[in-house]
Amino acid sequence: MGEKGSLQNKTYWSTLRKDIARQKWIYILIAVPLIYYFVFKYVPLWYSQIAFRDFKSVRYGILTSDWVGMENFREFVTSHYFWSLIRNTLMYSIGKILVSLPLSVILAIAIYECRHNKLRKVVQTLAYLPHFLSWVIMYGILLSLFAPGDGIINDLIKFFGGQPIDFLTNAKAFPWLVIFSDAWKEMGWSAIIFIAALMGIDVSLFEAAMVEGANSWQRVKYITFPAIKPVIVTVLLLKIGTIFEAGFNQIFMLYSPAVYSVADIIDTWVYRQGLLEGRFGLATAAGLFKGIIGMLLLFASNYFSKKFSDSSLF
């Protein structure tokens, strides 16, 4: 190494030292959160190697059981329930996107276009509220709405001459209950991001359109909707990135053995196998399987979101 190189090296180290000394408080501040990440996020990552082991119980130590290679993965992927779990997971997440996304876009446009200030404010405030209710509370509300004998929904069905249905235990009705109860809970909250985009529209566009003789329908078609189209694309792409998240908290609360065949998603199955049946290795393998696919999807959707709409998650 020449004279020059060592000089550069020296300045590099001394500026580094200076920078660190100057910002020592920041390193002190983030030290505890980083230790937190290490303990609560990275140690579980390390523990996930039990997916490759024949893990029996915590009592015998977590990382001392025998290696079994890909055996747990093989069992999960080749089992008869594998495709039904994948199908259910995708059915719920895609169904929710198909129902909730258009609903929240229409709601956002309606809130934006509504001329009655009071009506608009009441709807806006109430539409956000269900987002803050837990799925346990939602279950309580759904019980009273969908009670098989005398709930309101079944009163309506009877009024129109149909047969009353027990939505919570009927395998045909249950998926609809899951998808629409989620839409009810989240549509107002998901509309916020679209309302934000609408508020950014330049009002002079509307004035020009009015002078040109465009009516309200045409304004929505040519100004309002195009303004939120890129946001819709972004939201859609990000949702595709989390398509394996079908809503564990919701389904776990609503389902029962009667509807397992249509209700069981990967997460609920992992819970039952791992924590009720004690098959930790198999359940962890299924969780890892889902994690890897989820990661790939997230990268893909993030890539396309960057490409198409210039915004991304990270």
Partner 1 sequence: MKKKNKQVTSVAVKPTAADRGFNIVVDIFMVFILIVIVLPLWSTLTLSFRPVTFIGTYTEGMFLPPWEWSIAAYESLLGNNGFLIAFWNSIKILVEGVICALILTIPLAYGLSVKDLRGKKLITVFVLIPYIFNVGIIPVYLLIAKLGLTNHLQSVFLPVAISTYNCIIMRSFFEGIPNELRESASIDGCNELQILLKIILPLSKAIIMTIGLYYGVAFWNDYFRPMLYLTRDYLRPLPILLRNILLAAGMNEFVEARAFGNAPVEAIKAASVFLSAIPMVIAYPFIQKYFTKGTLLGSVKG
Q: Which of residues 246-305 bind partner 1 (CB under 8 A)?
A: 248-249, 252-253, 267, 270-271, 274-275, 280, 283-284, 286-288, 290-292, 294-295, 298-299
Among 81, 176, 206, 225, binds partner 1 (CB under 8 A): 206
Count residues binding partner 1 (CB under 8 A).
107
3-class DSSP state for residue 27? helix
Q: Rounded CA gap, 58 and 38, in Å? A: 21
Contact 256, 225 (CB under 8 A): no
Residues numbered 107 to 166 that lie near partner 1 (CB under 8 A) are 107, 110-117, 119-120, 122-123, 125-130, 132-137, 139-145, 147, 150-152, 155
Contact 248, 272 (CB under 8 A): no
Residues 54-93: x where in contact with partner 1 by CB under 8 A, - otherwise, as a string: ----x---x-------------------------------
177 binds partner 1 (CB under 8 A): no
Listed residue (55, 44, 10) closest to 288, CA to CA: 44
Q: Choose between 5 and 33: whose C-beta lies nearer to partner 1.
A: 33
Supply the DSSP string of 250-277, one letter for each residue: HHHHH--GGGHHHH--HHHHHHIIIIIS
Place of tokens 């009720």: 276
3-class DSSP state for residue 166? coil
Among 6, 9, 215, 261, binds partner 1 (CB under 8 A): 215
| Shortest Å, Cβ 171 to partner 1 | 19
Rg from Cα positions in the chain: 26
Among 32, 161, 163, 310, binds partner 1 (CB under 8 A): 32
47 binds partner 1 (CB under 8 A): yes
Q: How many H helices and E strands in the chain? A: 16, 0
Q: Rounded CA gap, 60 and 52, in Å? A: 16
DSSP state of 78: H
Each as own residue / partner, the long-range contacts of residues 209-212 (CB below 8 Å, 24 or more positions apart, any chain) are none
Among 64, 67, 203, 276, binds partner 1 (CB under 8 A): 203
Q: Choose between 263 and 298: whose C-beta lies nearer to partner 1.
A: 298
| Shortest Å, Cβ 3 to partner 1 | 26
| Shortest Å, Cβ 219 to partner 1 | 9
| Shortest Å, Cβ 70 to partner 1 | 17
